[in-house]
A and B are shown apart, each in its own frame.
Chain A
Amino acid sequence: MNIIRIEHIAKIYKVGTEEVHALRDVSLNIDKNEYVAIMGPSGSGKSTLMNMLGCLDTPTSGLYLFKGVSVSEMSDNQLANIRNQEIGFVFQTFNLLARYDAIHNVELPLVYAGISKNERRERAKRALIDVGLGDRMNHKPNELSGGQRQRVAIARALVTNPSIILADEPTGNLDSKTGEEIMGLFHEIHQKGNTIILVTHEEYIAEHAARIIRLKDGLIEKDEIVNNRYIPATNEK
């Protein structure tokens, strides 16, 4: 079964009297354990699409089925639950809470899931070890490098065992070497059976994925399978 199925999605923003068509007519399916990169020029609607897929935003028209359930019929609380349990967000600017140390940042989604203190600790620890930060659990974000911050953010996305990871330009604020390390981490995560959608501007980043969707002016220009996919060397820890 598709995890994600969207049909003829459009999103129109009203700015004053003008209408901005961020998405015009987008349809796509994403299956379990897919690894998809979304590419396209600036303003083509990539972030808008990601927010839609992540149930942060609702389309102006069109159908969105998440695991077969129509998202547009869900209440605010149901959407919050979906975001909490089914979706893991990774952002370009990391979006860690500055006054929380790494482990507390990772615990946060579990707080909203209503999970008890001890279990939260345990799971957050495991997630941080999985992203290679077992020795940085009590560091605040400003005591971590950019790459380490993004690893904390990835641990936070993984800690709830979501059905899908959504990453909007996760390497955008990192140098190419660190970006490559993060992509190695995504590769591992994918290997473990997770579904990943990521937005990027860089062709070489996109080539880590198995499928590339190219957007232009709010439309899908191309939806292709990557033939010469780049497989990073794993277990470099």
Chain B
Amino acid sequence: MRILVFEFKEGLIIALRAILSNKIRSILTMLGIFIGVAVVITMSTAIKGIDNSFQSGISSLGTDVMYVDKWAWFTNEEWWKIRNRKNITMEEYSRFKDLVKLPVAVAPVTNTIQTVKFNERRVDNVFVNGSNADYVKTTNFTFAEGRFYSDIESNAARQVAVIGSEIAKKLFPNISPIDRTIKIGGFNYKIVGVLAEQGSFILGPWNPDNQVYVPIETIFKNFFNRSFRSITINVRANGPAMVEETKAEIEGVMRKVRGLTYNQENDFSINQQEGLQQSYKSVVGVIQIAGLFITGLSLFVGAIGIMNIMFVSVKERTKEIGLRKAIGAKKRTILSQFLLESSVICLVGGLAGLIAAIIISLLINQFIPTSIQIDSVFLGIGVSLFTGVISGFAPAYTAAKMDAVEALRYE
């Protein structure tokens, strides 16, 4: 054991000397690994950032929430079969709500896309959600300021609004939005609450941070009448364990409310965020794998560079290898000397790449919330060491098994 430590230490010194004696070449070789590790780590960090954002967005929707819609979010059914489904109406919602027993919250939801203004500031294409006071119970919203609108306000179709954190930032950079009056599609609304950041940029306009919440009756009053389009009924089960049971109840009650006979198919769909997850994975997942593959290629090119340089370096030092063998270096000593050399080159390049990746992540953090995790650090170090050993092995092995006499004779 002590001998191995000794050999490792001496091998390291020899390797460092060799690296330092040819600085420009070593630095150019490191550059390959530097770029490879930097892009791989940046890529995997970005991917993780996107995933985290999606997951937190999804979970702000709640894993135990179901959405009863006219149509399924993702479906393979043929259009002509489902085209003629009836709208889900506010009356159906009322009857549904009276009949179901298992859910902890039921809320009718509709939405409209409007421009939101405060004085000169404006945000276009904002998702304006209309619901009632129960809506907040179907979400995991937390509030930065104020409260959700009340039963009284929603029943009386008051001009009140709750705004997402991004909207608040854009309209009210310096002052508190509470009790200010904003214009939504030309109508005045008083702000009663501001959501805390939900942090799910990937959902874009569906991100609660970018939305506004007003009473559903106010939407019907200001923008369109109640039979204009189908509403969604948001239903929250009593915890994830109750989802299946609740779903069964929803289906039964909805069928009754919609007046379906036993031989008619459902003319509504019960959507869950699972569907969202699957379609996210099928699209974004492919892009992620492609991204990792492409960045991995650059690391591979870097590794080939190392291997190439190590072969050159072994060739150049043929005579030195012969001499070292003549004065007592063993095969494994020569092998480890060159392996250490390529590993040190890769490790230094990799660490520099890691630092670059951290800086890049800090920069893109402005757009995508990313953060270098400790596992990325280990990944970076691991990948560069692995590359060093793998790409150094063939050259090192060539050096180790060299014939001493022939090596000494080499000119």
Contacts and interface: CB of A to CB of B under 8 A. Distances in A.
Contacts of A100: 17
Contact of A83 (B7, B10, B326): B326
Interface string A70-94: 0000001100110111000101000
Top 3 A-B residue pairs of the complex, sorted by shortest distance between their CB atoms: A84-B328, A112-B328, A99-B21
Contacts of B404: 56-57
Given A57-B405, A76-B331, A77-B330, A108 B3 contact: no
A85 B17 contact: no
A80 B325 contact: yes
Given A56-B404, A56-B405, A114 B328 contact: no
Interface string B399-411: 0000011001000
Nearest to B9: A117
Interface residues on A, range: 20 to 34
A109 B328 contact: yes
B325 A95 contact: no
Contacts of B251: none
Interface in B292-327: 319-320, 322-327
Nearest to A85: B328
A81 B21 contact: no
Contacts of B79: none
A85 B328 CA distance: 8
15 contacts: A54-B326, A56-B325, A56-B326, A57-B405, A76-B330, A80-B325, A85-B328, A89-B327, A91-B408, A95-B319, A95-B322, A95-B323, A99-B21, A109-B327, A112-B329
A129 interface: no
Interface string B327-356: 111110100000000000000000000000
Nearest to A113: B328
B228 interface: no
B6 interface: yes
A215 B245 CA distance: 100
B405 A51 contact: yes
Contacts of B319: 95
A76 B401 CA distance: 11
Contacts of B323: 95, 97
Contact of B327 (A77, A83, A114): A83
A60 to B, nearest CB: 14
A111 B10 contact: yes
A208 interface: no
A112 B327 contact: yes
A23 to B, nearest CB: 13
A112 B324 CA distance: 9
Interface in B167-217: none
B328 A97 contact: no
Contacts of B320: 97
A173 B320 CA distance: 19
A5 interface: no
Contacts of B331: 76-77, 80
A84 B21 contact: no
B191 to A, nearest CB: 73
A156 interface: yes
A77 B3 CA distance: 14
Given A56-B408, A156-B327, 18 more contacts: A51-B405, A56-B326, A56-B405, A76-B330, A80-B328, A80-B329, A80-B330, A83-B325, A83-B326, A91-B408, A95-B322, A95-B408, A99-B18, A108-B324, A109-B327, A112-B328, A112-B329, A113-B328
B6 A114 contact: yes
Nearest to B317: A97
Contact of A84 (B6, B10, B327): B327
Contacts of B6: 114
B346 to A, nearest CB: 22
Task: Specify which of A56, A57, A76, A91 lies most central, judged by the most chain B CB atoms within 10 Å of its CB.
Answer: A56
Task: Specify which of B14, B320, B405 lies most central, judged by the most chain A CB atoms within 10 Å of its CB.
Answer: B405
Contacts of A95: 319, 322-323, 326, 408
Interface in A146-177: 156, 160
Nearest to B14: A111
Task: Specify which of A80, A83, A97, A100 lies most central, judged by the most chain B CB atoms within 10 Å of its CB.
Answer: A80
Contacts of A160: 328
B21 A112 contact: no
Contacts of A113: 328
Contacts of A84: 327-328
Nearest to A159: B327
B192 to A, nearest CB: 76
B249 to A, nearest CB: 77
